């Protein structure tokens, strides 16, 4: 890509309503690149590996108004670090994990904001609740008082065309609406974390409140 990180951020920002939070996915990216994105106005960064994120947080302590978002699956032995080192956890993908995070957050005296990861279409390669599983678990999720359940997160399966992808995002919004209508005391459904580099332009018209672009900001990731 020929444009700089700052130019790419300015371009995305110009396409995205002010109300939509851009969570720049900085997994595998250097702290120098994160500093450039910060200087270009980004305050939200997404990481999928806790140990990698903690090293970066250590080196970026001077940028004290960064909000760190965890976007990857949380192994149960890492759950304590997840609640202690991230203000947002987008990838809460089971009742068991939610309950564990809730208990650990209580013990650690922190209140992470979380999204529930949902699979609108069946996808054996992804973590998350199916729609019917999620509806079944809401009563127990509502008992989680320490984590702040704010909305839904989704990742469409690979290989969908535009209209299929748009449909996944719209169904996610409709599901959030349905859950909200049920009036749970501890479950808010204001946030929709959806849209990555390849599909954020579809997620926004479908109602995304947080998008998670990575490569389109920082350049192609070489694994
Ligand atoms: C890697 C990742 C992203 C960013 O993907 P890009 O293709 O780099 O935009 C967003 N969300 C999740 C959950 C990811 O794992």
pLDDT tens, 50-90? 999 999 999 999 999 999 999 999 999 999 999 999 999 99
Do the bridges between strand 210-211 and strand 67-70 make them parallel or antiparallel, or are there none, so unpaired? unpaired
**31 CA to centre of ligand 1 in angstroms:** 18
Select from 131, 89, 84, 92 the least CA-distant residue to 109.
84
Distances (CA, A) of 216 to 1, 124, 169, 188, 209: 9, 26, 20, 30, 18
**Which residues is 119 bridged to in the sheet?**
130
**Directed axis angle between helix 131-141 and helix 162-181, to 10°?**
30
User: All domains of the chain, ordered by start, with CATH?
Assistant: 2-218 (3.20.20.10)
The candidate with the shortest Cα–Cα distance to 7, out of 162, 166, 214, 218, is: 218
Ligand 1 and 151: CB distance under 6 A: no
Q: Which of 27, 214, 222 to mutate to test the pocket of ligand 1 (most atoms within 8 A of CB)?
A: 214
> In the structure encoding, which two tokens stand for residue 166, read together?
């748009």
What is the Cα 15 distance to its own chain's centre? 20
Report the C-alpha gap between 121 and 98 in whole angstroms: 22
Nearest to 209 by CA among 88, 110, 72, 64: 88
Residue 221 is given by DSSP the state: P
- Ligand 1 pocket member 156 (CB < 6 A): no
Helices (H), the chain: 5-15, 31-39, 50-59, 79-85, 95-108, 131-141, 162-181, 200-203, 215-218
Indicate if the pLDDT at residue 216 is higher than 60.
Answer: yes
Q: What is the pLDDT of residue 3?
A: 80
Residue-averaged pLDDT of the chain: 97
Task: Tally the C-alpha atoms within 13 A of residue 6's C-alpha that lie toward its C-beta.
Answer: 7
CA nearest 203: which of 108, 85, 120, 146? 120
- Record the tokens describing residue 208, joined without a space: 């995304």
Tell whether the model's pLDDT for residue 44 goes beyond 70.
yes
Q: Does the pLDDT at position 223 exceed 70?
A: no
Mean pLDDT of 103-109: 98
Atom of ligand 1 nearest to the CA of 90: 13
d(CA 148, CA 179): 15
Ligand 1 centroid to residue 200 C-alpha, Å: 11
pTM of the model: 0.97
Alpha helices for 90-210 (secondary structure H): 95-108, 131-141, 162-181, 200-203
How far away, in angstroms, is 183 Cα from ligand 1 center? Answer: 31
Kindly state if the Cβ of 119 falls inside 6 Å of ligand 1. no
pLDDT of 222:
79
7 CB neighbour count, 10 Å cutoff:
12
Predicted pLDDT at 125: 87
């Amino acid at each position: 890509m020929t444009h700089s990180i700052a130019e790419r951020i300015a371009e995305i920002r110009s396409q995205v309503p002010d109300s939509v939070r851009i969570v720049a996915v900085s997994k595998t990216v250097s702290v120098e690149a994160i500093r450039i994105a910060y200087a270009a106005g980004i305050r939200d960064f997404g990481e999928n590996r806790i140990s990698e994120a903690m090293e970066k947080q250590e080196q970026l302590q001077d940028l004290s108004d960064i909000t760190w978002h965890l976007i990857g699956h949380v192994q149960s032995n890492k759950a304590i670090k997840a609640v202690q080192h991230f203000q947002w956890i987008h990838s809460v993908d089971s009742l068991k994990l939610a309950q564990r995070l809730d208990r650990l957050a209580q013990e650690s005296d922190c209140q992470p904001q979380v999204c529930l990861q949902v699979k609108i279409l069946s996808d054996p390669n992804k973590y998350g609740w199916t729609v019917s599983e999620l509806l079944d678990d809401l009563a127990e999720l509502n008992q989680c008082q320490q984590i702040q359940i704010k909305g839904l997160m989704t990742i469409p399966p690979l290989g969908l065309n535009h209209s299929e992808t748009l449909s996944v995002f719209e169904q996610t919004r409709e599901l959030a609406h349905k859950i909200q209508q049920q009036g749970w005391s501890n479950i808010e459904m204001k946030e929709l974390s959806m849209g990555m580099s390849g599909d954020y332009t579809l997620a926004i018209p479908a109602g995304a409140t947080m998008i998670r672009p990575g490569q389109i900001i920082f350049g192609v990731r070489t694994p």
